[in-house]
Amino acid sequence: MKRRTWILSALGATGALVVGWGVMPPRSRLGSPANMLATQNEVALNGWIKIAQDGSVVLAMPRSEMGQGVHTALSMVVAEELDVALTQVRLEQAGPDAIYGNVAMLLGSLPFHPLASEGGVKPTSVKTGEWIVSKLGRELGIIATGGSSSVSDGWAPLRTAAATARASLVAAAAAQWQVPASEITVQQGTLQHASGKSGHYGQFAQAAAGLAPANVATKDPKDWKLLGTAAPRTDVVGKTDGTATFGLDVRLPEMLFAAVRLSPMLGGSATSLDTQAALALPGVQQVVALDALHGSSAGFAVVAKTTWHARQGAQAVNAQWKQRGQGALDTQLIAEALQTQLDKESGFTFFDQGDIAAAEKSASKTIEAHYSAPYLAHATMEPMNCTAQVKDGRVEIWAPTQIPSSARAAAAKAAGVGTDKVVVHVTLLGGGFGRRLEVDFIAQAVKVAMATAGKPVQLCWSREEDMGHDFYRPMHAARLKATLDAQGQVQSLRIKSAGDAISPRWMERAVPLLAGPVDLPDKTTSEGLFDLPYGFQNQHMSHIATNMGVPVGFWRSVGHSHNAFFSESFIDELAAATQKDPLEFRRSLLQAAPRYLAVLNLAAEKARWGSALPAGHARGIALHESFGSIVAEVAEVSVQEGVARVHRVVCAIDCGTVVNPGIVAQQMESAVVMGLSAALYGKIDIVDGVVQQNNFANYPMVKLADAPVVETHIVSTTRHPGGVGEPGLPPLAPAVSNALFALTGKRLRSLPLAAQA
Amino acid sequence: MDLTINGKAVQADAEPDMPLLWVLRDQLNLTGTKFGCGVALCGACTVQVDGQPVRSCVTPASALVGKNIRTIESLGSTGQAHALQQAWIAEQVPQCGYCQSGMLMAAAALLARNPHPSDADIDAAMTNICRCGTYQRVRAAIHRAAGATQVATVQTVPAAQEVSA
């Protein structure tokens, strides 16, 4: 089935369920005051904005802060439209209403080629697909933070909500002062009129409530004062004095602590638990058996008076385990199985252009390479945890989660109550990277809390459990093949890849409503391969979606994280094969992709591509689009005593309209360092069902002494905001690998790189 | 056992082998010190003992009787942030923030013994893991705070000694 055919059939099936609904306009996301928490001395003007008595603003915040700066960025968006200082915006966790659902995250799952929308005017197929998914997304109301989508998603609804609130406040003042609304100005939340009248928002909030100003316009970008500035983040002070509250920092009266131990064999379970020695330890209260929940392995939790006592108890339980029913998992066997699949299967075609067969037949020269990437763990600094209390038929959870709507559903299911009996408090997240889009640890905490007679319990995983029971970035393998004509010009590019599809497995675990009876093609498998910007006349990209049984999940930048390594390394191989400079080779292929070209040129210029380097140093370049943003990176490397060292990474990014360039720079730095840990060292092996890496000693990270200097340069544009949290990661591995090739002449085609450098 | 934490005498009900980390977090509700790995590899649990950086996840509290324990909660004093905290804010260091208490306590111990560290000194002292990759800002903030020590705003005496003396 052709790509377009299956998209439309999938969307059509959805549409058929909702005949009549399809012609209605998309559901408004403005919401109503009732969507916000009823609080004293604060007046809600819609589903997003409340005005406090002192004139400050309360913003309903549905997105999770995990380091990416989203609380600051979204606060800036409303502060701008309301003409208040950033420090005048406070946050209140958004409730469960569908207006807070993340529509842009779902839009990101559509497998359209980004070049189709490059000119700013989207083709009908793209517009139709996006329109249907937008409508669906607004109905579903999946409240989640992921896919680098928060600013993109909140951009229109938040500006509209803030501008509407401002207009109603101005209208209220105009009515009281009996002056035209157009003559009132607002600065720092203070309304003023030339007559000398003035007052702050708090004085007009009651009168503004219920007003419904029509035709409210958002600000012209030329009038922005705050947007586009590197405003200091609002969460930094609490993160320097120990007061920031992460999931593990929740403290409640009479709270107990629990430690988990899950089957060391992934997917396995206990055959017997001897708890006698554990229960005899001081402070240990009870052992609670845990079934496999939302994709986790089965195991048990030990409840005690502190986490340490619980950890001691968990080690003291004498457990016998058995493998999962389908047999033991083994990464060596999976690697071989992927190659067998690549030999036998043709896969699903994500992109087909020109006549690949004819081009290959008439080729003068063929260049072919096999690439692979291993399983990876997320290793957030804050291990998985959740605090839960189950009392009087009600469930309350405190969780560092990226997906409160699914956490709520999982908690309700675990406790056997309706979702209306569940309250979710989202804490700060000590890293997310996709791991906290899962809800296994939420259900576990609720199951344990059901056994503690109404007392709250904080369930905390050890680092060993966290690394051994992750939802891993899947292993992928790819075969790339290009042909040259008699003049040495590249005529065709064919990419066939294989690896597990994540989205259908994740939906089964976290959003069962979306899980279908059969797996639809998953864009995340082929993103970064089918959507290249280069003007090769003949292209064919296909993917073989496997289901090897290892729990797989979204890992920062998802398919792009390994596919960019495959595609951008191979582009470098083609440059070498045609005796072209890697930068010039890319430039020559980007004539129809001016945004990509501008980003590439900026990175090259700032890195002084081609200029002299110290002896033993070399540069590599890579260019990649993901999550609506284009990033180019130039890495400068050396190899000293067999150890690859990255000295400097120069990044250029076009992420559309920039909310906060300081946060963009932070995210580039962050993506480079995380990408470098993965590129140099990252690898999860599974032998006889058991994950072999269990802590930072054998799953090492780049540290301060090894960290490169990272520079960020931003291409200024006025397009809709793209993503920022993830797009800096994919180009890092190929930039480093291409630099190592320039230095050593050795092409590295598998990750991680460190052992091969 | 009797401990001295952030200048205050504290009674802790802990077995001899109970690490300080859990006494701080789960018994005394001093949650600024974080649990990251449990085996002294990541540094999220770093506190100071008599001015030295110590990984509290592997240090039994019983070994610290009579010593001055200082946690992130007392790095600054009321109304006066430590020079490092000010530098951390100026350089916009934290992202998720989870590792930052440990980073700050390690950095404060470094500056206390070496007020003007070189890059190599910082490399050697700052072995904490940060998954958000804040390293270059950590380095910049330490240099910034080191500059500030010349105008004598850095607090190099552990608060514990001032109060308990």
Q: How far is A19 from chain B (nearest CA, A)?
A: 44
pLDDT for the residue numbered A22: 59
Count of A–B CB contacts within 8 Å?
A: 181
Q: Which of A752, A480, A751, A738 is nearest to A622 (CA)?
A: A738
> Over the stretch A702-754, which tens digit does the pLDDT of each residue have?
999 999 999 999 998 999 999 999 999 999 999 999 999 999 999 999 999 99
Q: How far is B133 from chain A (nearest CA, A)?
A: 4
Question: Residue A143's pLDDT band (boundaries 50, 70, 90)?
Answer: very high
Task: Let me know if residue B162 belongs to a domain.
Answer: no
pLDDT for the residue numbered A4: 43
Q: What is the mean pLDDT of residues A516-530?
A: 95
Sort A485 into a burial class: Cβ within 10 Å, 0-12 / 13-18 / 19+: middle
Task: Let me know if residue B165 belongs to a domain.
Answer: no
**In the predicted model, what is the mean pLDDT of chain B?**
90
Q: What is the mean pLDDT of residues A143-166?
A: 97
Task: Let me know if residue B157 belongs to a domain.
Answer: no
Does A696 sit within 8 Å of B95, measured CB to CB?
no
Residue B97 lies in domain: 83-149
Q: What is the mean pLDDT of residues A34-46?
A: 96
Q: How far apart are the C-alpha atoms of B163 and B165, rounded to whole Å?
A: 6
Q: Facing residues of A672 across strands?
A: none
pLDDT at A3 over 50: no
Identify the three-state secondary structure at position B145. helix
| B57 lies in the same domain as B88 | no
Does A670 sit within 8 Å of B39, measured CB to CB?
no
Lowest mean pLDDT among A6-20, A254-268, A567-581: A6-20
List chain A residues with CB under 8 Å of B75: 241-242
The residue of A308, A401, A706 whose CB has the most chain B CBs within 10 angstroms, and thus the best one to mutate to test that interface, is A308
Q: Which of A117, A112, A159, A110 is nearest to A137 (CA)?
A: A110
pLDDT for the residue numbered A16: 45
Q: How far is B158 from chain A (nearest CA, A)?
A: 16
| Count of Cβ atoms closer than 10 Å to residue A251 Cβ | 15
CATH number, residue B16: 3.10.20.30
| Out of B22, B39, B81, closest to residue A308 by CB | B22
Q: How far is B39 from chain A (nearest CA, A)?
A: 9
Quick one: closest CA in A to B132, which residue? Answer: A670
List chain A residues with CB under 8 Å of B30: 242
pLDDT at A621 over 60: yes
Does A710 sit within 8 Å of B26, measured CB to CB?
no
pLDDT for the residue numbered A26: 63
Q: Which of A347, A306, A698 is nearest to B18 (CA)?
A: A306
Q: How far apart are the C-alpha atoms of A221 and A58, rounded to whole Å?
A: 23
pLDDT for the residue numbered A57: 98
Does A695 sit within 8 Å of B37, measured CB to CB?
yes
pLDDT at A423 over 90: yes
| B63 lies in the same domain as B97 | no
| B50 lies in the same domain as B107 | no
Which DSSP symbol is given to A25?
P
| Out of A68, A233, A432, closest to residue B92 by CB | A233
Q: Which of A248, A236, A744 is nearest to B92 (CA)?
A: A236
Does B135 sit within 8 Å of A703, measured CB to CB?
yes
pLDDT for the residue numbered A23: 59
Question: Residue B165's pLDDT band (boundaries 50, 70, 90)?
Answer: very low
List chain A residues with CB under 8 Å of B25: 248, 307
Identify the three-state secondary structure at position A257. strand
| Out of B18, B72, B127, closest to residue A308 by CB | B18
> HEC states along A458-508?
EEECCHHHHHHCCCEECCEEEEEEEEECCCCCEEEEEEEEEEECCHHHHHH
Does A308 sit within 8 Å of B96, measured CB to CB?
no
| B125 lies in the same domain as B102 | yes
Q: How far is A612 from chain B (nearest CA, A)?
A: 25
Q: How far is A589 from chain B (nearest CA, A)?
A: 33
Q: How far is A466 from chain B (nearest CA, A)?
A: 10
> Over the stretch A16-39, which tens digit does the pLDDT of each residue have?
444 455 556 666 899 999 999 999
pLDDT at B150 over 70: no
Question: Domains in chain A and their CATH numbers?
Answer: 23-239 (3.30.365.10), 248-324+378-468 (3.30.365.10), 476-498+511-538+550-756 (3.30.365.10)
Q: How far is A435 from chain B (nearest CA, A)?
A: 13
Does B97 sit within 8 Å of A430, measured CB to CB?
yes
Question: Residue B162's pLDDT band (boundaries 50, 70, 90)?
Answer: very low
Does B97 sit within 8 Å of A244, measured CB to CB?
yes
pLDDT at B155 over 70: no
Residues 6+ apart with CB under 8 A from B79: none
| B99 lies in the same domain as B144 | yes
Q: How far apart are the C-alpha atoms of A413 and A419, rounded to whole Å?
A: 8
pLDDT for the residue numbered B156: 32
For A63, the token pair is: 């997105």
Share of chain A above pLDDT 90, in %: 93
pLDDT for the residue numbered A585: 98
Sort A322 into a burial class: Cβ within 10 Å, 0-12 / 13-18 / 19+: middle
Query: Buried (b) or exposed (e) across A550-583, using 16+ Cβ within 10 A?
Result: bbbbbbbbbbbbbbbbbbbbbbbbbbbebeeebb
- Residue ending a domain, among B40, B74, B108, is B74
pLDDT for the residue numbered B148: 63
Does A430 sit within 8 Å of B96, measured CB to CB?
yes
Does B138 sit within 8 Å of A704, measured CB to CB?
yes
Q: What is the mean pLDDT of residues B97-121?
A: 98
Domain count, chain B: 2
Does A701 sit within 8 Å of B99, measured CB to CB?
no
For A553, the token pair is: 């999940």
| B145 lies in the same domain as B125 | yes
> Over the stretch A654-672, which tens digit does the pLDDT of each residue have?
999 999 999 999 999 999 9
Q: What share of chain B is helix, strand, coil (3-state, %, to 5)?
A: 40, 15, 45
Does B41 sit within 8 Å of A431, measured CB to CB?
no
**In the predicted model, what is the mean pLDDT of chain A?**
95
Task: Let me know if residue B42 belongs to a domain.
Answer: yes
Quick one: closest CA in B to A253, which residue? Answer: B29
Q: Which of A602, A142, A227 is nearest to A404 (CA)?
A: A142
Does A696 sit within 8 Å of B135, measured CB to CB?
no
Cis link prior to A752 (omega < 30° from 0)? yes
Does B29 sit within 8 Å of A66, measured CB to CB?
no
> Over the stretch B45-83, which tens digit does the pLDDT of each residue have?
999 999 999 999 999 999 999 999 999 999 997 779 999
Does B27 sit within 8 Å of A705, measured CB to CB?
no
Task: Let me know if residue B154 belongs to a domain.
Answer: no
For A54, half-sphere exposure in the C-beta direction (CA atoms, 13 angstrom radius) is 6
| Out of A240, A243, A311, closest to residue B104 by CB | A240
Task: Let me know if residue B159 belongs to a domain.
Answer: no
Q: What is the mean pLDDT of residues A511-540?
A: 95
- Residue ending a domain, among B74, B95, B114, is B74
Q: What is the mean pLDDT of residues A197-205?
A: 98
> Over the stretch A129-142, which tens digit does the pLDDT of each residue have?
999 999 999 999 99
pLDDT for the residue numbered B154: 32
| B63 lies in the same domain as B7 | yes
List chain B residues with CB under 8 Å of A464: 38
Lowest mean pLDDT among A12-26, A381-395, A417-431: A12-26
CATH number, residue B127: 1.10.150.120
pLDDT at A391 over 70: yes
Does A68 sit within 8 Å of B95, measured CB to CB?
yes
| Out of A238, A463, A703, closest to residue B38 by CB | A463
The residue of B132, B138, B143 whose CB has the most chain A CBs within 10 angstroms, and thus the best one to mutate to test that interface, is B132
Q: Using CA atoms of A169, A170, A173, A177 in order, give the dihedral in degrees to the nearest 10.
A: -170
| Out of A69, A237, A246, closest to residue B98 by CB | A246
Q: Which of A164, A258, A274, A153 is nearest to A216 (CA)?
A: A164
The residue of B26, B56, B84, B142 whose CB has the most chain A CBs within 10 angstroms, and thus the best one to mutate to test that interface, is B26
pLDDT for the residue numbered B158: 33
Task: Let me know if residue B133 belongs to a domain.
Answer: yes
> Over the stretch A60-87, which tens digit does the pLDDT of each residue have?
999 999 999 999 999 999 999 999 999 9
Q: Give, for A277, the enclosing helix (H) or strand (E).
A: helix A276-279
Task: Let me know if residue B156 belongs to a domain.
Answer: no
Share of chain A above pLDDT 70, in %: 96
> Over the stretch A668-686, which tens digit does the pLDDT of each residue have?
999 999 999 999 999 999 9
pLDDT for the residue numbered A25: 61
Q: How far is B8 from chain A (nearest CA, A)?
A: 18
pLDDT at A695 over 80: yes
| Out of B41, B92, B100, closest to residue A666 by CB | B92
pLDDT at A14 over 60: no
Q: Which of A211, A221, A114 is nearest to A165 (CA)?
A: A211
Q: Facing residues of A618 across strands?
A: A637
